Amino acid sequence: MSGREEEEGGEEYLFKIVLIGESAVGKSNLLSRFARNEFDNNSKATIGVEFQTQVVEIHGKEIKAQIWDTAGQERFRAVTSACYRGAVGALIVYDITRRSSFDSIKRWLDELSTVARMVVGNKCDLENIRDVSVEEGKSLAEEEDLFFMETSALESTNVQTAFEVVIREIYNNVCRKAL
């Protein structure tokens, strides 16, 4: 692996991205869907933080996205805020069937300002028990000048796209401006 950069003569990019939001909104499943194309119905609550690295190609450049999955519980707050350090992107996730998880989005937003932030309304496969409308999600994102997308980790809807939009935005803002 280590000789690769010289062989190809290209730069390497490593973007740290964090997944935040309340417990059980689907953060771990969004990550496993994106990184391994897997969904786990019985996923245990994440303890502390863990990350996965996924390589994405943007404008012909290989970008390593290091995505940190955090636990939403208050008792892990110390661990999670340490994990924000150095993050350039964030997906702030709520569950479209649980209004309380949407209401807490602003609190999560206050905790970090990264280059690219996207509000993600997950579980859009559960239309029949929807509790937050698409419009509400959109207007919150507009107010705060953020990207917005509804996803389903279960049905694999928009998961790839959501991560890629964030990664592309980071690339456009950080790497190209630096040139």
What's the min distance (Å) between Cβ of 175 and ligand GDP? Answer: 30
By CB under 6 A, residue 50 contacts ligand GDP? no
Give the up-direction half-sphere exposure of residue 12: CA atoms within 13 A in the CB hemisphere. Answer: 13
What is the per-residue binding string for ligand GDP in 108-137, x denoting contact by CB under 6 A?
Answer: --------------xx-xx-----------
Q: Which residue has the tokens 């991560």?
A: 163
By CB under 5 A, residue 101 contacts Mg ion? no
Task: Return the closest-CA partner of residue 91 out of 127, 125, 119.
Answer: 119
What is the per-residue binding string for Mg ion in 28-67, x denoting contact by CB under 5 A?
Answer: x-----------------x---------------------
CA distance 71 to 22: 8
Q: How far is CA 83 from the centre of its chain?
A: 13
Q: From Mg ion, ligand GDP, none, which one binds at residue 80 (CB under 5 to 8 Å depending on kind)?
A: none
Tell me how crowded residue 103 is: count the other CB atoms within 10 A of its CB: 12
Q: From Mg ion, ligand GDP, none, which one binds at residue 175 (CB under 5 to 8 Å depending on kind)?
A: none
Of residues 139 through 158, those in contact with ligand GDP by CB under 6 A are 152-154
Q: Which two tokens stand for residue 143?
A: 């107010």
What's the min distance (Å) between Cβ of 71 and ligand GDP? Answer: 7
By CB under 6 A, residue 101 contacts ligand GDP? no
Residue 16 DSSP SS3: strand
What's the min distance (Å) between Cβ of 41 and ligand GDP? Answer: 5
What's the min distance (Å) between Cβ of 46 and ligand GDP? Answer: 5
Q: Please spell the DSSP secondary structure of 17-72, one letter per residue.
A: EEEESSTTSSHHHHHHHHHHS---TTPPPP-SEEEEEEEEEETTEEEEEEEEEE--
Task: Write out the residues near ligand GDP by the rule CB under 6 A.
Answer: 23-29, 41, 43, 45-46, 122-123, 125-126, 152-154
